[in-house]
Amino acid sequence: MSDILMPKATAVWLVDNTSLSFEQIADFCGLHPLEVRGIADGEVARDIRGADPIGNGQLTREELDKAQGNPDYRMKAQVSRHAELLKPAKKAPRYTPVSRRQDRPDAIAWFLRHHPEVTDAQISKILGTTKATIEQVRARTHWNAANIKPVDPVTLGLVGQLELDSLVKKAAEKKAKDDAKRGIVPEDPTLRPASEGGQFEPEVEEEEEDFRAPRGDIKAEDVFGKSSGYVDEEDED
């Protein structure tokens, strides 16, 4: 039996508009017979509007007539024409222009250097590359390894800034959860054990030594010289 859309709404319609048994309705809708009985008694799905399975293509009139004429007959559901529209659309693989494909190794190297918490699968998905290429860049076995240099993928035009920020944040949160499960406490780079740095001693600014001679020891002849014509008052006396 195919899974039908809106099973409870379909059961409501079948209870209200057909003479099917609770077992037949339950089998068709994938519900328990007691749940169908509760729908008939008004105890279950009170606010649910009935959905016609014939109108939406999940049941044919012939199947319904057979089931109403034979209590032992079990109806077979049709594939709804709306089922394909309700399926989540599969995201197409990321397309990278030919002119940008030679830049992907540089972007891979950037991820490996600056964000090692991002997994190879995440790098592969966001850059549209393969895990084999990522491993070649990591092991420096890539054919162009000599010219590969880490470059921000946003600068290269391979991803958007918001998309990159979201990926890095998600990877960091996952790494933090994994570390917490393993009992790993992240280290604070600003703190060091006392055994490494010794006892902390506050820095004391040294006072600058005043190399200036006392004012009374300086004479005019030391500054101007005796030939300058300056006459000291003491000499004049």
C-alpha distances out from residue 21 to 7, 47, 61, 200, Å: 16, 22, 17, 85
Of 52, 86, 120, the position where a domain reaches its end is: 86
Query: Is residue 33 packed enough to be buried (19+ CB in 10 Å), middle (13-18) or exposed (0-12)?
Result: middle
Q: What is the pLDDT of residue 112?
A: 94
Owning domain of residue 12:
7-86
Of 21, 51, 86, the position where a domain reaches its end is: 86
145 belongs to a structural domain: yes
**Per-residue pLDDT tens for 5-59?**
888 999 999 999 998 999 999 999 988 999 999 888 888 877 888 888 888 888 8
**In terms of domains, do 76 and 149 share one?**
no
CB atoms within 10 A of CB 118: 20
Give the total number of structural domains in the chain: 2
Residue type at position 96: T
Q: What average pLDDT does this structure show over 111-125?
A: 92
Q: What is the pTM of this model?
A: 0.42
152 belongs to a structural domain: yes
**In terms of domains, do 112 and 76 share one?**
no
**In terms of domains, do 17 and 81 share one?**
yes
**In terms of domains, do 73 and 107 share one?**
no
130 belongs to a structural domain: yes
**In terms of domains, do 132 and 157 share one?**
yes
**In terms of domains, do 38 and 109 share one?**
no
172 belongs to a structural domain: yes
Sign of torsion over alpha carbons 37, 42, 43, 45: positive
CB atoms within 10 A of CB 28: 26
153 belongs to a structural domain: yes
81 belongs to a structural domain: yes
Of 57, 86, 115, the position where a domain reaches its end is: 86
**In terms of domains, do 14 and 71 share one?**
yes
**In terms of domains, do 37 and 109 share one?**
no
**Per-residue pLDDT tens for 127-169?**
988 999 999 999 999 998 899 999 999 988 888 899 999 999 9
Where helices occur in the chain by DSSP H, the ranges are: 7-17, 22-29, 33-41, 61-69, 83-86, 98-101, 104-114, 120-127, 131-139, 153-156, 161-181, 194-197, 220-224, 233-236
**In terms of domains, do 77 and 108 share one?**
no
